[in-house]
Structure 1
Amino acid sequence: MAERDGLGAPALGLRQYLLAVASKLDAPAWFCEVEVPATAYLALEQRLERFPDHETALLWDERDGWAAAVESASGEDVVVLAYLGEDLLPDPCAVAEFVRDLYGDKYPGQPDPPNFRRPGSADGFDERLAAYAGKNVCLPEGQA
């Protein structure tokens, strides 16, 4: 598959998944690109103690999944600090835990990209995304 329809079930599923992650993190802003290769950016309000002068963000792409990053000194690029590395589409609660650990004394995730898949491959990834379309991915605690 060379292109992903911005209105189809995989694109809607990606947006729904990202919305669930952003909601879990109270992210002030996020955006995504649904065409191959799909990517996303979630701004985080809190800065890392070890990088107090740099904005912090979560990045996602369909090759490596989630990564924690900080803006470079110029503010034009981002520098990846760690990859979550569990799965391309981990539960939003796992992403939130990754971020909590990042702000704590832990160094979560892994330093190298996991390289889960080749973007655009016919490997079932679009079907996984489509499963999130119209689905409440991560309900608040105590709700089923």
Structure 2
Amino acid sequence: MDTMSLAADGLVGYVTSVAEDLGVDIFEIDINLDADLATVIILVDAQVPVFAEFPLLLTWDEVAGWALRIDTDGRGATVTLEFLDEDILPDSALVRRFLWDAIRGNNPGVLASPAFRLPNACDDLEQRLARFCN
């Protein structure tokens, strides 16, 4: 994704709106607008019951959308727990419910990674993201 595009600004706006709606403290937000694959990592102050000893990450990428992961070694190695199989850009309330259901010990997502699109595909993602520009 072009770092100077409206889509890049929109991704920042979208992630900010999702983060503000999560209802948990956030330690860090990392948005990577790599030319090959745009990604987001949100480190939240919450855990899932089965893996309470591991930091919980809410992640997004332009292929699979939102996922819950745990940081297994403190150096960036993560394991995916489940994916939110709704849409590449679901409403922030759906992302919040996905996170909160997992924190409560439910399994709100799917195990298999959805493939909503290919990286840098010629589709409507950039236009959809541009709606979130400030």
Same fold (TM over 0.5): yes
C-alpha distance 126-35 of structure 1, shift in aligned 2 (>3 A): farther
Report whether the alignment pairs 1:104 with 2:101. no
* Cα displacement string for residues 88-125 of structure 1 (whole angstroms, at most 9, x for unaligned residues): 10001110000010011311110000111001111111
Counterpart amino acid of residue 15 in structure 1: V
Structure with the higher fraction of residues in strand conformation: 2
Provide the secondary structure at the position in 2 that maps to 1:68.
strand
Provide the secondary structure at the position in 2 that maps to 1:50.
helix
Higher alpha-carbon Rg? 1
State how far apart, in whole Å, the 1-side matches of 2:114 and 2:14 are. 20
State how far apart, in whole Å, the 2-side matches of 1:70 and 1:97 are. 18
Q: CA deviation at 1:29?
A: 1.6
Paired residue total: 130
Runs (4 or more) in structure 1 with deviation over 3 Å come to: none
Q: How does 1:11-90 map to 2 (within 5 A)?
A: 11-25=8-22, 26-36=25-35, 37-72=37-72, 74-76=73-75, 77-90=77-90
Cα pair 1:14 1:34 within 8 Å, conserved: no
Q: Which ranges of structure 1 fall in alignment gaps of 5 or more residues?
A: 135-144
Counterpart amino acid of residue 28 in structure 1: F
Q: CA deviation at 1:75?
A: 2.4
TM-score by length of 2: 0.91
Report whether the alignment pairs 1:7 with 2:15. no
Percent of matched pairs sharing the same residue: 32
What's the RMSD between the two structures over aligned residues? Answer: 1.2
TM-score by length of 1: 0.85
